[in-house]
Amino acid sequence: MNTPDHITRAQAVRSDLAPVAEALERCGCAVNLKIVSDRTLAAVLMSATFTGSPALAHKLVRDIRDVARAQGIDLDGIVCDHDDLRADQQRIGFVCLCPARKPSRKAA
């Protein structure tokens, strides 16, 4: 059975991000990129787990979104858990799971 097209595209996005992840690792941020299926969007989203600076985490998330967009993949709609960002900054396409800040879902 062939790999579904959206899985193949997500794998290509992850491959294109390798230099970004390597640069962050040199800065002391451990980056673990995973492919996660999202039935609501009928697409594949990538989620990143970070240790280190939340600012670097957000930058990587934006870079992932931009790479996906360049390939015609729209990943907008997943809200970042950091409540210190403006609403337009939160709609960045991925869930930021930086352990420095815990998700505040109860406050919603």
Q: Answer yes or no: are the C-beta atoms of 65 and 88 closer than 8 Å.
A: no
- pLDDT higher for 54 or 103? 54
In this predicted structure, the answer to whether residue 93 has a pLDDT above a threshold of 50 is no
Q: What number of other Cβ atoms are within 10 A of residue 51's Cβ?
A: 13
Higher pLDDT: 50 or 66? It is 66
Structural domain boundaries enclosing 57: 5-107
Report whether pLDDT(66) > 60: yes
Q: How many domains does the chain have?
A: 1
pLDDT bin (cut points 50, 70, 90) of residue 105 is very low
For 94, list phi and psi in degrees, rounded to 5: -145, 160
Each residue's pLDDT tens digit, 29-49: 555 554 433 332 223 334 444
Contact 92, 104 (CB under 8 A): no
